[in-house]
Amino acid sequence: MPEMRTPLSKVRGLGSAKSGAKTWWRERVGAAALLPLTLFFIWLVLSLAGSDHAAAVATIGNPFVMVLLLLFILVSADHMKLGMQVIIEDYVHSEGQKVVWLVLNTFFSYGLAAAGVVAVLKIGFGM
């Protein structure tokens, strides 16, 4: 089959970056993981509704609950980052703006995840 890329596009490295399939799979695996984690999170919030502070701290301090909450936060942040990354890559056409938005997306996603992890650990370990 003849090569469909021009010599200039080969030099510039334009074309398939070969990372789309990896991102696609990460999005799907993350979505599959988020199904039970989101159901757990909704159950947790509803079960803690109306509870006092001590009961909420005790519940979140349970190692099983803490691990599931941390997984929910980390997987949600990664899924959000990947989803926004695809949108930015598809709809922002200026390379400069694309880089800025991708960097901001990464900082925002990781910052949100870090804040959630710190909050859960602080509550769980009673700091």
Q: Please tell me the predicted confidence (pLDDT) of residue 107.
A: 98
Token pair recorded at residue 13: 């490295």
Q: Please tell me the predicted confidence (pLDDT) of residue 11.
A: 64
Q: Please tell me the predicted confidence (pLDDT) of residue 61.
A: 94
Q: Please tell me the predicted confidence (pLDDT) of residue 81.
A: 96
Q: Whole-model pTM? A: 0.81
The domains found in the chain, sorted by start residue, are 19-124 (1.20.1300.10)
pLDDT in tens, the chain (127 residues): 556 666 666 666 655 555 678 888 999 999 999 999 999 999 999 999 999 999 999 999 999 999 999 999 999 999 999 999 999 999 999 999 999 999 999 999 999 999 999 999 999 988 7
Q: Please tell me the predicted confidence (pLDDT) of residue 126.
A: 82
